[in-house]
Amino acid sequence: MPNKLYQIFGKEKCDIDFTLSYEFFMNYEEAKDKMAKLGQQHIFKYYDKLSDEQRVSLLKQVEETDFSVLSRLGKGADATRGTFSPLAAMQLSEIEQCGQEFHDIGVEAIKSGKVAALLLAGGMGTRLGSDDPKGMFNVGITKPVYIFERIILNLLDVVKETGTWIMLFIMTSEKNHDATTAFLKEHDYFGYKKDRIVFFKQDMAPACDFDGKLYMEAKDRISTSPNGNAGWYSSMVRAGLDKILDREGIEWINIFAVDNVLQRMCDPVFVGATINSNVSVGSKVVRKAAPDEKVGVMCLEDGKPSIVEYYELSKEMMDAKDENGDPAYNYGVILNYLFRVSELSKVTDDKMPLHIVKKKIPYIDENGESVKPTEPNGFKFEQLVLDMIHQLSSCLPFEVDREKEFAPIKNATGVDSVESARELLIKNNVEL
Ligand code: UTP
């Protein structure tokens, strides 16, 4: 059988399992050439010492990884911002008034299978400092209460109310996929129907030192990290899951972060209000706790929906008032968006800014020893969901009560931590 493996190893036979998709990866010479052109040939330092299988794995990684991000280094900020103006949110009082109407529209859409949920669980959760995927974190005090459990139970409330098993997509990454799937299986998916859950892995981006030189995390592996939470849509399409959306007639996807233990998703009132407003995306927002609170705020940028970061808010914007005399930039995003599926094809990766972030990147040193840095030692490359919003034509900021729906766990202690989330869970009568 003529195949590329023969070219790679330069021998008649090799001990690789031929069920591997051998025809898809490049041979050593091609890979060397590709990496030399990028000035990254050091990744083959240990090639001679690798087993056949390790070589295949490295060559596959060279073929599949998108290294184009490296060329963006040193080019300054990717996104120059436009002109900001306020975007009014639908506030709690209005939502209460129209609650029944929105609720009925939402229930109808959910019952007809038009709404899916998508859990963003591909992040590394480095600030929390646990080695496990964040969703496996136990926030319980007298009994185990896992983050994944809280989230699934909240979604199950809607399943029960509507009598409909909402399709739940779970995005993991290469780094946490096995642990996540094994954990959920072990806990019997916390009561969710297994065949209504679809896991997929997000794409990875290479990580490099401050000079742009790729790190290796093992002798046969370039350091990579998940490519940011905006990776969900392109990764989903690459995994062929858009076919499921078509097949199931899914028109709306509610994406949400793993770390908010009070997160409510696919709740009929939010779904109904978004559909009724005829927008491209609905975004749950909370009233800011203070004018300088460190949250991204929903607004318009050059007339299109956008999110202005707290550090981009000028004094003038902080002082600006709406027609009721309330602060005009007053609603922070909580990473809970309901996207209209038909609008998603407008969102393309290459139009979105690339965020180059300083992070601690584990690597092997020149002696082949593993190093876990305690300070940032290089760059990771990410695209963020909030930049997707700006590619869409319209957005409904939908206010939720922060005491009831916003308990993020980013850090082990202090602000947005396990402690603050526990307090809010207890306030919401969750037994811990
Ligand atoms: P964060 O921005 O808080 O990142 O993610 P993180 O990786 O979880 O935590 P740190 O910054 O390392 O401490 C917000 C949401 O986006 C998901 C996370 O899992 C979380 O639900 N996310 C983030 C992804 O799914 N993929 C990514 O590449 C990044």
Which domains are present in the chain? 3-64 (no CATH), 95-278+336-383+412-427 (3.90.550.10)
Nearest-CA residue for ligand 1 atom 18 is 123
Which pLDDT tens digit goes with each residue over 326-352? 999 999 999 999 999 999 988 877 778
Distance of CA 269 to the CA centre of its chain: 24
Give 401's contacts (C-beta < 8 A, 6+ positions apart).
Answer: 92, 286
Quickly state the pLDDT bin for 77 (edges 50, 70, 90).
low
pTM of the model: 0.90
Element (H, E) at 332: strand 331-340
Where does the pLDDT of residue 24 fall: very low under 50, low under 70, confident under 90, or very high at 90 and above? low
pLDDT above 90 (res 292): no
Question: What distance in angstroms lies between residue 227's CA and the mean position of ligand 1's atoms?
Answer: 10
Strand-pair category, 331-340 with 304-308? unpaired
pLDDT over 50 at 7, yes or no: no
- CB 259 near ligand 1, within 6 Å: yes
State mean pLDDT over 205-227. Answer: 96
Q: Is 118 in the pocket of ligand 1 (CB under 6 A)?
A: no
pLDDT at 217 over 60: yes
Across-strand partners of 146? 138
Cα–Cα nearest to 277, from 392, 391, 377, 375: 392
Q: Which of 24-33, 38-47, 80-89, 404-413 has the lowest mean pLDDT?
A: 24-33
The alpha carbon of 105 and the centre of ligand 1 are apart by a number of angstroms equal to 32
pLDDT of 149 strictly over 50: yes
Residue 75 pLDDT grade (very low, low, confident, very high; cuts 50, 70, 90): confident
Locate the ligand 1 atom nearest the alpha carbon of residue 171 and give its number: 25
- Which residue's CA is the nearest one to ligand 1's atom 25? 122
Residue located nearest, by CA, to atom 5 of ligand 1? 123
Residue 182 pLDDT > 80 = yes
- Determine which residue's CA is closest to atom 2 belonging to ligand 1: 123
Find the mean pLDDT for residues 258-287. Answer: 97
Ligand 1 pocket check for 229: Cβ under 6 Å: yes
Does 202 contact ligand 1 (Cβ within 6 A)?
yes
- CA–CA separation, 146 vs 247, rounded Å? 32
The percent of residues above 70 in pLDDT, for the chain, comes to: 93
Check whether 9 has a pLDDT greater than 80.
Answer: no
226 CB near ligand 1 (under 6 Å): yes
Pair of tokens at residue 73:
């280094």
User: Using a 6 Å cutoff on CB, does residue 135 contact ligand 1?
Assistant: no
> What is the rounded average pLDDT for all residues in the chain?
91
Residue 44 main-chain phi, psi, to 5 deg:
-95, 15
